[in-house]
Amino acid sequence: MIATRETVSAAPAAQGPQETFVLNLGPQHPAAHGVLRVLMTMEGEWIQRAEPVIGYIHRMHEKMGENRTWAKFLPNTSRIDYLSAMHYTHAFVGAVERAMKIEVPLRAEYARVITSELNRISSHMVWWGALLLDLGGFTPILYAFDDREKILDLLEGLCGARLTYCYYRFGGLYNDVDDEFLRGTRDFVQHLRPRLKMYRDLVTDNVILRKRLTNIGPIDAEMCRRYGATGPVIRGAGVPYDVRRMEPYSVYPRLDFKVPMYPECDSMARYLVRMDEMEQSLRIIEQALDQIPTGPFLAPKVPRVLRLPAGDYSYAVEAARGRFMVRIVSDGKEIPYRVRLRAPSFSNLSLYEEASRGMILPDALAMMGSLDLVIPDIDR
Amino acid sequence: MNATFPFSEYLVTAVFALAAGTTIAGALIAVMTTRIIRSVGGLMITCLGLAGLYYFLHSPFLALMEILIYVGAVCITIVFGVMLSEPDEPAEPRRLTRTLRSAAAALVAVLVGLGLAYLSLQGPWPTAAAGAAPADGSVAAIGRALLTTYSLPFELISIVLLLAILGALVIARGGRHRAEPEAGPARRPAAVSNPGTTPQIEPAGADPVPELVTTDSR
Amino acid sequence: MNPTLDQLIAQFTELIGPEAFAAAAAPAVPPSPPAATAVGTTGASPAAGGGVPVAAAKPAPAPAAPPPPLQATQHALKGYDLDARVAPNQVVDAARLLDRAGFAIDAVTGVDWLAQEEMEIVYDYFHPSQSLRMVVRTRVPRAAPELPSISGVFPGANWHERETHDFFGIRFAGHPNLKPFLLPEDANFHPLRKDYTP
Amino acid sequence: MSLITAIRETFLGFKSLLVGLRITAREASRPIITVQYPRETLKMPARFRGHIKLVLDPETGKPRCTACTLCAKACPSGCIVLDGVKREGDKKKSVSKYELDFTTCSLCGSCVEICPSDAIEFSKEYNVVSLNRDTFENMDLYAKIEAEARAWSAAHPAPPAASPPPAAAPANPTAPASQPLNAPAG
Amino acid sequence: MTFLSLEPIRVLLYLVGICAFVGANAAYLVLAERKGAGRIQRRPGPNEAGWAGWMQPLADGLKLLAKQIMVPPGTDSLLFRLAPLLVMAPPLMCLVTIPFGENVVARDLNLGLLLVFSFGSINVMALMLGGWASRNKYAIISAARVVSQNVAYEIPMLLVVITLLMMTGTMSLQEITAQQAGGFWHWNLFKLWVNPLMPVTFVIFFTCMLAETNRAPFDMAEAESELVAGAFTEYGGMGFGVFFMAEYANIVVGCCLATVLFLGGWQSPIGILSSGAWGLLWFFLKTYALILTVIWIRWTFPRTQFYSLLNLSWKILIPLSLATLLLTGAMMKLPLLWRALS
Amino acid sequence: MNLLELHQQPGVYLVLAAFLMGAGIYGFLRRRTLIGMLISGEIIFAAASLNLMVMNRFFAPDPAVGQVFVLFIMGLAAAEVAIALSIIIAVYRNYRSIGSRELTGLKG
């Protein structure tokens, strides 16, 4: 796609003594993860205006939701944000369960928490590696993928898929968590702790990375609020907003964890939030492993063909990138009347235009990396 | 450098011809082309050829300095200037004027060049040192000369350079600052608040805020 | 900055105005907040164009007895705490009110009620430092769906409104840039309308 | 003061670089962890979800599938097309055609979950490759199960009641070669 | 001045040898880089072509050669074609004067060091012209960066070299090597009793060398996550290949220079066995150790930000190198002063 | 004149210098941008330097004097380029052009 006339002229054109030019960053660019295009009006290396242009892999998931049954939409949910598929399925399943008033067995809830948190760690690892890739460090992504493989192996052994799990079912799980998985998860927790320390020594403490991220890309709490940015972005702005705490779901209220928060509002704060979140996720997993009861993994008497009572219901979860909300509207039929997917990356990216104004290109890309964008999540 | 140049005569002549040819070609490119960036390239080529000629004039030090200063500094500075101002030759409105202008310039140049060449070939040069054991163009001699006979000009040159740096800074920056107020959008983020300040919707007082972990940033 | 549910209810009651409450013929319980939490289950959805009891009795076109314009709902049952139904010209005021109360924009979306010839626009808000979720909804006629944009209040709504315009063809007056967003640049269709066929 | 801080920060920064170098050096001395794919292959876990396949009843050597089409109905992307015939002597219908459009299959497992007779399961093939697009668009699972059934009957030579000759079954004549898929390497 | 003097033949042979050396280095350093990256990242790296991947450079080269050289429309085609030539020439020239062994040097100029630096400065011009001629926004940004970066780092590098020259008193690389004979404690890096600041000088030199050769963490010119491929974005096939080779050739030159200036060149670390082939062995051991360090650094650190890179040069390295220059001068003159006073 | 002795003939160098001078003058007159004129000026400098070197090599009793002068010329040229370019950039900022014809508005 070429810059259209309007988009170019919408930018403050070259008037007055300063000269600008338009840089078309993407849709194929090494730093635009996936097919994101950013139309940058630059003055030298300074960004005057960076307008994200999205929709290149729009798949109209919401329309798909309207032409198939509730159960048939389930696989779609793990394909919106393929890096945190568990959370997305959780939200959809949760919304339907909320409408149907299905009581989910405790074992299934704990299993959901464990798998969700594993998924969060794996998602953060991809982010970590990709951020470092954006910053020009190639090695960390492979270390992260080494550890992430272990998570994927665990989840593959559990539900048979490595990325698009589709593991949760209305009222429970696809299949039971076996002992092998629980043991493997315990081993993994032990394995990851020293690795996280290694990450810290190799990257977090590195002076170059500190210089690249500290005081770069300030996004304050007010901006987060006005744009609806959530997740590590808002927690890096000093607001301890976490759906697991604010609108508790599943068995999170029974678990003891901290919400990492840094008040610096810069890219480093967002970075540190995610790094701390990995440790907190490990804590959560350990507790859940200790507490997980035996019992059924699927609620009894879940009808095969669901007819939700008319009305609208929403369910929000804390996905790896922030607040993911499913809003479903039912008219009492067996297919949804409306499925609305509120994607965190969408809101997080929408503040990019304002936040990147006046930055220079490398910093703006570092900030984009610290937002942890997943383009299919934005485009849906 | 040893006085007896180690190549055989033919090679020497060939290399000399190469150096001279490079100089001529570079100069021609520099003045004939319309694209200014090629012109800079021509200047660079001229300097490379000139360095070769200096070598033949028994001054390798000057040859290397020519490359270091002209190619490494002057040309690059000029290219930088070109990048900042994109000055391709404006097209002459009428063809006739262009031709006339070029012809006049060429005439003057040819006259001057021929005159100088004629003079230099006819001039009664003292032939004292010609062909004799060539002067030692070593660094030591230059250094000694610079620090004894020519120490005052040497110091003056350094002062000139310093002043040039300062002057260039003043002029270039001054333009920028003057241009700033009417520049339109702010260069520096106006919307971005100070990252150090406390956020505005920090949970007030006794809110049901869970325990926070604010690990100090290492 | 951290409003209680009662304060919100009071403010919204004022915003919506008594006429709307009067119009809601049902024995709704307008401003007595905490007791009304049970409403959420029985009153069901205003969105569904007549909840469980009403829909059976009334034919679609005119929801004769609309549910009360302001309902406190149980979060555990609906996923939000307060549900306000405002007139289309009140959404900006509602957004300002919520902005002052420290809410953050969550999502803006539409629902196409084909049978009632209406488009519903739903604004979700969450509070960053408090467990409080708020839904503001309004309806516009399907033939001419237009209402003011709240992107002046919440810049984050800009993208959501563009998306809603893409999908439903709802025009947001005062929106700076209603170009196709997720759809192709030359798209002139609105896929989430119920009568859309590809 | 600020000079001391600056020097200290410079020193610490330099130290952090050395720490980083030490870590990469340590990692470099450890064995490689990647699997050299064509030479080494992975063993898929028991619950691995590959493409689906029909299951042979180990008792009778026939497909378990009764062509009830529940799987086709449960499939979100409608990628299963199957048909059954009632063969003489059988009480129930049995499958006579089972095609999977693997290009649209999302491996969600709904079909396996819903199958009342456990007649479908996931294969463990993870490196399905072909030069022919048709291999995936019309993945003929019935042809495969036929081949398996033949192998079964070859391995269980004629018990008292001779099993119906599988060749007589109305196999899809236009189906591609029965083994278009690579075996899981080895 | 005999017509059949062996000297021209010798020099020609050296030129051919240097070209071959640069070519082989460029090819196999790419392999070494990929293998090294693989080791650090715990994967084998290229291992299919030939035994353990030894034929990989050949395969890469063939691929690059087979590609069409495209000159995109809108470029300044003359400069576009000229730039790869210009970028390859300087490292070849620089290697002429590097002493690889006791008697292995193409031409031992007494201004060898100056030659290396003057030809090294052409490199910038080539990248800049290539970037400019591409008519690509990324390439132009990259070209501007290359220039600011190289100008910024040439200064501390020259200052450091001047410091060294004050100690050695000669610009002939062979003589500098000869001065460092007799065990590693005679190397300039460890001549702490002459100048205790030598390690600092070496670190500055090495940093500047990384920056001058556009190596990570200072690879501003081709910061692939920002500028796609920087100045080479529009180059394909062998055009790109030549830039790539020149990059490695520059690294080789830089590391050779560092070896000669600081690590004693072909002098053995134990004081004996530096003559003949041994000298070559020591020289290449040291040089390749440095090159491996360069590779190691690349795969460990993220890229610096451009402005902090310039700050590093202008605010830290230049003052530091100036300080070392002054201190070294003072230290060298101190004995004289002492003698004069006493 | 022996062709093989070409590089030892001062006349050759002098003619070359004269050619450079002519080229420089031609460029200086023909160019209509400041940078183009600057480049032509550099070529004139080069001609002068070459002349000085020839004098030094063939005619001067003191071996260093010409070289020292050429060094001075280089230093001056560097300074001149720096200043000239900063002026050019400043002019460009204010006039959006560095064509010498458009700069009639410059006043002392």
Q: What is the pLDDT of residue C24?
A: 61
Average pLDDT, chain D: 76
Contacts 24+ apart (CB under 8 A), C114-120: C114/C142, C114/C193, C114/C194, C114/C195, C115/C49, C115/C60, C115/C61, C116/C49, C116/C60, C116/C61, C116/C62, C116/C63, C117/C61, C117/C141, C117/C142, C117/C143, C118/C142, C119/C145, C119/C168, C119/C170, C120/C47
Q: Looking at residue F2, what is its pLDDT?
A: 63
CA-CA distance, A340 to A62, in Å (whole number)?
6
D84 neighbors D67 (Cβ within 8 angstroms): yes
- Give the domains, in start order, of chain F with CATH numbers: 10-106 (1.10.287.3510)
Query: Are E42 and D24 within 8 A, CB to CB?
Result: no
Please state, rounded to an integer, the average pLDDT across all residues of chain F.
77
pLDDT of residue A4: 35
Q: Is C192 on the interface with A (CB under 8 A)?
A: yes
Q: Look at B119-123, D178-182, F84-88 and tell me which has the smallest mean pLDDT.
A: D178-182
Q: Does residue E85 sit in helix, strand or coil? A: helix
- At D171, is the pLDDT very low, low, confident or very high (cuts 50, 70, 90)? very low
| Chain A (294-333) residues lying within 8 Å, Cβ to Cβ, of chain E | none
Q: What is the pLDDT of residue B88?
A: 59
Q: What is the CATH number of domain B10-85?
A: 1.20.120.1200
Residue C31 pLDDT > 50: no
Share of chain B above pLDDT 70, in %: 62
Which residue, A5, A50, A28, is CA-closest to A361? A50
pLDDT at A121: 92
- In a mutagenesis test of the D interface, which of E33, E34, E39 is the best target, namely the one with the most D β-carbons within 10 Å? E39
Long-range Cβ contact pairs of E150-153 (< 8 A, separation 24 or more): E150/E121, E150/E123, E150/E124, E150/E211, E150/E212, E151/B73, E151/B76, E151/E124, E152/E211, E152/E309, E152/E310, E152/E313, E152/E314, E153/E207, E153/E208, E153/E211, E153/E212, E153/E313, E153/E317
Are C145 and C164 a contacting pair, CB within 8 Å? no
CB–CB contact B207 C131 (8 Å): no
Cβ(F83)–Cβ(B164) below 8 Å = yes
Evaluate whether C123 touches C150 at the Cβ level (below 8 Å): yes
The sign of the dihedral angle between the CA atoms of E106, E107, E113, E117 is: negative
Burial A107-130 (b: 16+ CB within 10 A, else e): bbbbbbbbbbbbbbbbbbbbbbbb
Interface check E37 vs A, CB under 8 A = yes
Mean pLDDT of C97-101: 85
For residue E42, give the chain D residue with the closest CA. D32
> Does residue A95 belong to the interface with chain C, where contact is any CB pair within 8 Å?
yes
Cα–Cα distance between C98 and C136 in angstroms, integer? 10
* Chain A contact present for B209, CB below 8 A: yes
Question: What pLDDT is stored for residue D160 in this prediction?
Answer: 55
Say if the Cβ atoms of E124 and B72 lie within 8 Å: yes
Determine the Cα angle at B146 with ends B144 and B147, to 5°: 65
Q: Which chain A residues are within 8 Å of C122, Cβ to Cβ?
A: 312, 327, 340
Identify the helix (H) or strand (E) that includes residue A173: strand A172-173
Neighbours of F (≥3 Cβ pairs closer than 8 A)? A, B
CA atoms E237, E240, E243, E248: torsion sign:
negative
Give the integer Cα–Cα distance in Å for A96 and A90. Answer: 10
Residue recorded with tokens 């006979």: B149
Give the nearest partner residue to E300 out of D20, D32, D33, using CB atoms. D20
**Cβ pair D30:E42 closer than 8 A:** yes
Out of B193, B200, B211, closest to residue A258 by CB: B211
Instruction: List the Cα angle E183/E188/E194 in 5-degree steps.
Output: 100
Using a threshold of 3 CB pairs under 8 A, tell whether chains E and A touch: yes
Task: Report how far residue E29's alpha carbon sits from residue E41's, in angstroms, rounded to the nearest whole number.
Answer: 18
The H or E element containing residue C113 is strand C104-113
Distance CA A226, CA A61 (A): 26
Pairwise CB contact (< 8 Å): B188 & A245: no
Over residues C129-136, the mean pLDDT reads: 85
Probe site for chain C from B201, B209, B212 (most C CB atoms < 10 A): B201
Judged by a CB distance cut-off of 8 A, whether residue E161 touches chain B is no
How many CB atoms are located within 10 Å of the residue E20 CB?
Answer: 10
* C-interface mutation test, from A9, A80, A314, most C Cβ less than 10 A away: A314
Q: Do F32 and B90 touch (CB under 8 A)?
A: yes
Beta pairing, strands A259-260 & B212-213: parallel
Q: Ranked by mean pLDDT, which of B30-34, C34-38, C52-56 comes out on top?
A: B30-34
Residue C44 has pLDDT above 80, yes or no: no
Q: How confident is the model at residue B36 (pLDDT cuts 50, 70, 90)?
A: confident
Q: Is F touching E (3+ C-beta pairs, cut-off 8 A)?
A: no
Q: Could you tell me which residues come within 8 angstroms of residue A257 by beta carbon, excluding any fewer than 6 positions away?
A: A244, A280, A283, A284, A287
CB contact under 8 A, A198 and D23: yes
Per the DSSP assignment, residues forming a β-bridge with D53 are D121
Q: Does A209 touch chain E (CB under 8 A)?
A: yes
Q: Taking Cα atoms as reference points, which of E3, C57, C4 lies closest to residue B7?
A: E3
Question: For chain E, which chains pass the contact test of at least 3 CB pairs under 8 Å?
Answer: A, B, D
Token pair in block for residue E23: 């070519």
Can you tell me the distance from the alpha carbon of B148 to that of E56, in angstroms, rounded to the nearest whole number? Answer: 59
Within chain A, which residues score under 70 in pLDDT? Answer: 1-19, 31-32
Q: Which regions of chain E are under pLDDT 70? A: 1-8, 274
Domain-by-domain residue ranges, chain B? Answer: 10-85, 138-171
| pLDDT for F97 | 61
The whole-number average pLDDT for the span C145-169 is 86
Tell me which chain E residue has its CA closest to the CA of residue D39: E48
Q: Which residue of F has its CA nearest to A14?
A: F96
Compute the distance between CA of residue A19 and CA of residue B185 in angstroms, rounded to an integer: 11
Q: Which two tokens stand for residue A316?
A: 């929000």
What pLDDT is stored for residue A238 in this prediction? 85
Contact between A140 and E41 (Cβ < 8 Å): no
Which residue of chain D has the CA closest to A146? Answer: D33
Tell me: the pLDDT tens digits for F48-71? 888 888 877 777 666 677 788 888
Tell me whether residue C22 is exposed, middle or buried, using C-beta atoms within 10 angstroms of its C-beta: 0 to 12, 13 to 18, 19 or more. Answer: exposed
Q: Using a CB–CB cutoff of 8 Å, tell me whether E297 touches chain D.
A: yes
F residues 46..105 contacting A (CB < 8 A): 93-94, 96
Candidate ranges B4-13, B77-86, E22-31; pick with highest mean pLDDT: E22-31
> Quick check: B131 pLDDT over 60?
no
CA–CA gap between residue D126 and residue D107 (Å, rounded): 12
Could you tell me the pLDDT band of residue B62, with boundaries at 50, 70 and 90?
confident
Contact status of E296 with chain D (Cβ, < 8 Å): yes
CB proximity E297 to A under 8 Å: no
DSSP-H helix ranges across A160-266: 179-199, 207-213, 221-227, 232-235, 243-246
> Subunits with at least 3 CB pairs below 8 A relative to chain C?
A, B
Which of the residues E42, E48, E304 would you substitute to probe the D interface, choosing the one with the greatest number of D C-beta atoms within 10 Å?
E42
Q: For an interface test with A, which of F94, F95, F96, F98 has the most A Cβ atoms less than 10 Å from its Cβ?
A: F96
Q: How far is CA F75 from CA A260, E82, F43, F48, in A?
A: 59, 29, 15, 14
B65 touches chain E (CB under 8 A): yes
**Interface test mutation site (partner C, options A58, A327, A351, A352, max chain C beta carbons within 10 A):** A327
Residue of A nearest to F89 (CA): A17
Percent of chain C's residues with pLDDT above 70 = 74
Write out chain A residues lying below 8 Å of E207, CB-based: none
Looking at residue F58, the DSSP 8-state letter turns out to be I
- Axis-axis angle for helices E137-168, E198-212 (nearest 10): 150
Count of all residues that appear for chain D in the document: 186
Chain E: nearest CA to D181, how far in angstroms? 25
Q: Which domains does chain A have, with CATH numbers?
A: 5-53 (no CATH), 61-378 (1.10.645.10)
Domain locations along chain E: 74-341
Max CA pair span of chain F:
57
CB under 8 Å to D13, separation ≥6 — which residues? A207, A210
Nearest chain D alpha carbon to E36 = D28
| pLDDT score at C141 | 87
Residue B182 DSSP code: G
What's A264's DSSP letter?
T
Helix (H) or strand (E) holding D94: strand D94-100
Please, which contacts does C194-197 make with residues 24 or more away whose CB atoms are closer than 8 Å?
Answer: C194/C112, C194/C114, C195/C114
Beta carbon pairs, A and F, within 8 Å: 3
D173 pLDDT more than 70:
no
Give the mean model confidence (pLDDT) for residues C37-63: 40
pLDDT number for residue A9: 36
Containing H/E element for A126? helix A106-134
A136 to E228: CB separation less than 8 angstroms, yes or no = no
Beta carbons of B167 and F83 less than 8 angstroms apart:
yes
Q: How many CB pairs under 8 A join D and E?
A: 34
Residue in chain F nearest B170 by alpha carbon? F86
> Residue C56 above 80 pLDDT?
no
Question: Could you tell me which residue, B10 or A292, shows the higher pLDDT?
Answer: A292
